[in-house]
Structure 1
Amino acid sequence: MICNLANLPCPMKHSISELRKRNRELRAGLDPATLEQAARSLVERIGSLPEYAQAGRIAAYFAVNGEISLELVIEQALLQGKQIFLPNLDTQSLRFSPYFQQQKMRINRYKLPEPDVPDESMLGPEAIDLVLVPLVAFDTQCNRIGMGGGFYDRSFAFRKNPDQLRPVLIGVAHELQKVDQLEPEPWDVQLDMVVTDQAVYR
């Protein structure tokens, strides 16, 4: 992934690590009131999407380090009778564990919470209807830079097939994480849309 951002030297390879560092610092510097308002704005935007209305199985995640909280989205989806799944990172590809309120959780090797469930209750990526995808940076063409582990690109590589339309991949970010342009690598999986606290990009 190569970026085009005014204050970052591109296409030098180290620019991506600089962009990750910069955006993570920007995100981590947001105050609690801003984060709370962003979460409220996000649930309204996601809840109004036809793709959300049509989805029965939704993959989400627990926000960390200044990411927009998805707790309101999760609560709303559960109240509407939708099934929520959280990513399990124990293998090189993602599996998704069912989540419900008051569920027992465990901390994985990346120090992230995930449902404490047996392997047989997990679903593969192809069984999910809609996936809320974390990211560090994005552009208006719905290209994404993640944390660098490659989990989502590996797990949803099948979405590069133009005949494969599910699951719907929706990036979640603060508006301040938007950059001018990202040039994807061959292995990068493009998002269907990005939802921020201020806009929806398709």
Structure 2
Amino acid sequence: MPRQQFRKQLLAARQALSTAEREAAAQQVSDHLLALPELQQSTTVGSYYSVRAELPTQTLNQQLQLQHRLALPVLHPISLQHLLFLKVHPQTRWQANTYNIPEPQLRCPDIVPLSALRVLLVPLVGFDAHGNRLGMGGGFYDRTLAAWHQGLLPDLQPIGLAFDCQYVEALPHAPWDVPLPRVITPAKVWDFRG
């Protein structure tokens, strides 16, 4: 099945979940995530602001802020189709980006380099038994994770967040796609690190 067809099918499955199912799933994913050894001490976590039918992250982000330094992505103003991560704090001002996704207003003092992140939570449309990730098609996270994939950010731990219905046995993937080492769903923590 072509990627576009997988994307359509998986987005429809995600969309079919009720608000209550989404919230319950988000709580289970949060419980799994917050129990990970990497999050038992204060650290720097990159997350994202969930939109549309993505696994809700707003409550999780609030929980993360209580114990960790939280950074959220903004569209890079110069390197198009790349992401920058900005520290989130009580004074953060928010604005909608080109895709109508809320993001912190760009302030240079708030920029958190990827090398400073220890955990990076990654949105996805689907994932498979090998950790291959299907996104929305823009390639933002593949570009963001390219340096990690090349071994240049050994301290970074990318983790996908998903509903159980976003799993498929095998996804088509391209050479530039970056597979994830772990994905957390309500049912379990998928570990693909071998």
- In the superposition, the TM-score normalised over structure 1's length comes to 0.86
Is the partner of 2:40 in helix, strand or coil? helix
Match in the other structure for 2:63: 76
Q: 1:163 to 1:63 in 2, by over 3 A?
A: closer
* Matched AA of 1:78: Q
Matched, 1:94 2:80: no
One-letter code of the match for 1:76? Q
The alignment-based identity, stated in percent, is 34
CA contact (8 A) 1:94 1:125 kept: no
Residue of structure 2 in register with 1:105 after alignment: 94
- SS of the equivalent of 1:33 reads helix
Task: Quote how far apart the aligned CAs of 1:98 are.
Answer: 1.2
Question: Is residue 3–residue 171 contact of structure 2 (8 Å, CA) maintained in 1?
Answer: no
Structure 1: gaps spanning 5 or more residues: 1-8, 10-14
Letter in 2 for 1:88: V
Report the counterpart of residue 6 of structure 1 in structure 2: none
Q: 1:121 Cα deviation (Å)?
A: 2.3
1:49 equivalenced with 2:36 (yes/no): yes
* 2:71 pairs with one of 85, 91, 96: 85
Which stretches in structure 2 are left out of the alignment for 5+ residues? none
Q: Deviations over 1:167-196 (max 9, x none)?
A: 100001101000011243221112120001
1:14-33 aligned at under 5 Å gives the runs 15-33=2-20
Q: Which residue of 2 aligns with 1:36?
A: 23
Which one is further off, 173-182 or 97-106? 97-106
Query: Cα distance 1:125–1:163, how it changes in 2: closer, same or farther (>3 A)?
Result: closer
Please tell me the residue identity of whatever aligns with 1:73.
Answer: L
Distance 1:55 1:193, change over 3 A: farther
Which one of 98, 116, 122 corresponds to residue 111 of structure 2? 122
TM-score of the pair, normalised by structure 2 = 0.89
CA RMSD, 1 decimal: 1.7
Matched, 1:168 2:162: no
Note closer, same or farther for the CA distance 1:102–1:140 as it changes in structure 2 (3 Å cut): farther
Q: How far apart are residue 162 of structure 1 and its match?
A: 4.1
